[in-house]
Amino acid sequence: MTRIFDWVRDVLSEFSGSLSPDAWSIFGINFAHPALLLLLLLLPLWSWWRRRATPQRAIPFSRAAVLGLGPQPSLAWVRWLPWLRSLALAGFIVAAAQPRSGARAERVSSEGIDIALVVDISSSMLAEDFQPQNRIEVAKEKVKRFVVGRKSDRVGLVAFSGEALTQVPLTTDYPVVLTAIDNLQVGQLEDGTAIGTAIATAANRLRTAPGRSRVMVLLTDGENNRGAIDPRTAAQAAGAFGIRIYAIGVGSEGMAAVPVGRGLFGLRYENRPVKIDEALLTEISTNTGGRYFRAKDAQALQSIYEQIDALERSIVEARAYIRYTERFRWPLLLGLAALLGELALRARRGVLP
C-alpha cells in the first residue's frame, strides 16, 4: 500500500507541473488544481482493496433467539454503503480540485500613466464661440469623456486663472475626478491667466508620482498675464522631471463674444478678438516632448483628446486576467450528503460490523 501512495504522489507532482489551471475544462468549468482529479481513478482500486482487507468475521453467540431481537441488517441497504462512501470521496476530490467558471475578462494595466489635467477657468472661458455652449462647458464635457476612457491611469485635476489650485491629486478614483470637473466654475479663483503658475502646480504633483510616464494636458484660451512664474521656466522644470506637456488652445479665430461685466440682466458681452499665445504653447509643448493643438470648435476639441489618448496609450503594458466564479460548493455538498447518507443508514438499519 505504501508503494501505491508513493506512486500517486509522484504522478500528482508530475501533473501539477505540466498542467495549467485551465487545461481540463468540462462544459465551461475548469479546475484550479486538475491533477487532483487523478485521485478519482484510485476510487475503484480503493474499493477493491477495502473488500480484500476486511475479513469476514463470525460472531459467537450462544443464544440465537436473543440475537434475533437485535437490529437486523438489510442486505439491499448494505450494498449501498460502499457506493455512498465512494460518492462522498469523489465529491470531496472534485471540490478540492476547485472547479470554477470564467465570469469575464478585463484589461489591467501593469503600469499606468500619471496625467494632470490643467483647466483654465478664467472669465474668458465664458466666451460663447462654441455655440450652443460656452468654452468652459464644452471643455468640461470633453475632459470628462477623456477621464471616462481611463482604465488604470492616475488622474489629477488643476484649475487655474490668475492663480492655480489643485482640485484633485493624482488618483484612480475616477468618480471623484468627474465630480470635481463638474464643479469647475468661472470665478472660483482670482481672474487672469497664469499659465506658468498652472504648469508649476501640476508639475509639482507629477514629479513625485511613482509611474515612469508623466503627462500634463494644459487647456487654456488666453495669454499669460498673471503669476510670478514664467511659463517657459516652469515648462523647462517640468521637462527635467520627464513630464510631457500637451497644450490645447481653445477658441475660434477672429472675434468672439466675451463677458466684460455684469448688468441688470446678467453678464454683458462684447465681441473681442480671440488672443491665444500659440507660439508660447507650441514652444513649451515641443520642448517637453509633447504637442500643441488648436481647438476651434467642440468637435475639434474632442478629436484632440482622442489624439492625446492614442499617443499615450501605446506605452501602457497590459495583461489579461480572468475573474472566476467558484463552483466547488456543489460537489462539496454532494460529498457531505453522501457521507451523511452512509452514517444514517448505519445508524437506522443497524448494520453489523
CB 93 within 8 A of CB 191: no
Amino acid at site 343: L
| Closest residue by Cα to residue 157 from 145, 167, 147, 142 | 167
Grid cell for residue 195: 499659465
Residues recorded for the chain: 353
User: Sign of the C-alpha dihedral, residues 278, 246, 133, 263?
Assistant: negative
Grid cell for residue 149: 476612457
Confidence of residue 23 (pLDDT cuts 50, 70, 90): very low
Judged on CB neighbours under 10 Å (0-12, 13-18, 19+), 323 is exposed
Q: For 175-199, what is each residue's pLDDT tens digit?
A: 999 999 999 999 899 989 999 999 9
CB 261 within 8 A of CB 187: no
| pLDDT for residue 242 | 92
Q: How far is CA 10 from the centre of its chain?
A: 39
Question: 3-state secondary structure string, 277-326?
Answer: CHHHHHHHHHHCCCCEEEECCHHHHHHHHHHHHHHHHCCCCEEEEEEEEE
Q: Are strands 29-31 and 99-109 parallel, antiparallel or unpaired?
A: antiparallel
> What is the secondary structure of 198-261 as a DSSP string?
HHHHHHHHHTT-SSS-EEEEEEESS---S-SS-HHHHHHHHHHTTEEEEEEEES-SSEEEEEEE
Buried b (16+ CB within 10 A) or exposed e, 99-130: bbeeeeeeeebeebbbbbbbbbbbbbbbbbbb
Grid cell for residue 127: 466666451
The SS3 of residue 31 is strand
| H-helix or E-strand spanning residue 9 | helix 2-18
Give the Cβ contact number of residue 13 at 10 Å: 11
Region 226-242 average pLDDT: 94
Q: For 61-115, what is each residue's pLDDT tens digit?
A: 555 555 455 555 555 556 667 777 778 788 888 888 878 776 555 555 455 789 9
Q: How far is CA 169 from CA 140, 182, 243, 274, 292, in A?
A: 18, 16, 16, 32, 24
pLDDT above 60 (res 156):
yes
What's the whole-number average pLDDT of the chain? Answer: 78
Confidence of residue 57 (pLDDT cuts 50, 70, 90): low
CB 297 within 8 A of CB 252: yes
| pLDDT for residue 46 | 72
